[in-house]
């Protein structure tokens, strides 16, 4: 998953928010697949419900870690666009 994709800059506030919500759902699903891991993940997962970046502190395999980092980069890029377009409270 590329952090920047063609058409990102043309997205409106609702589209940016929807894309960020989808990334959050994917992160939660990734966490769910790892539910058998240590209790540390459970604590971070609960915190992640309130703060998206915590999803990337979980104990993941290398492939999962790469996927999580790609999602984090994409989310950060979209969040920058969201803020640049002054979408707060859109």
Domain boundaries, the chain: 8-84
Q: Which pLDDT does position 41 carry in this prediction?
A: 47
- Residue 54 is encoded by which pair of tokens? 């915590």
Distance of alpha carbon 26 from alpha carbon 1, whole angstroms: 12
Q: Read off the pTM.
A: 0.69
Per-residue burial over 15-30, b = 16 or more CB atoms within 10 Å of its CB, e = otherwise: ebeebbeebbebbeeb
Q: Shortest CA distance to 68 belongs to which of 54, 50, 47, 82?
A: 54
Mind listing the pLDDT tens digit for each residue in 20-71?
999 999 888 877 766 555 444 444 444 444 445 555 555 567 787 888 889 9
């Amino acid at each position: 998953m590329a952090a920047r994709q063609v058409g990102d800059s043309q997205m409106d506030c609702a589209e940016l928010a929807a894309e960020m919500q989808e990334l959050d759902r994917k992160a939660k699903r990734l966490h769910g697949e790892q539910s058998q891991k240590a209790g540390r993940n459970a604590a971070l997962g609960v915190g992640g419900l309130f703060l998206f970046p915590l999803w990337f502190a979980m104990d993941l395999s290398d492939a999962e870690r790469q996927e999580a980092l790609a999602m984090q980069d994409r989310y950060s890029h979209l969040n920058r666009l969201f803020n640049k377009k002054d979408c707060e409270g859109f």
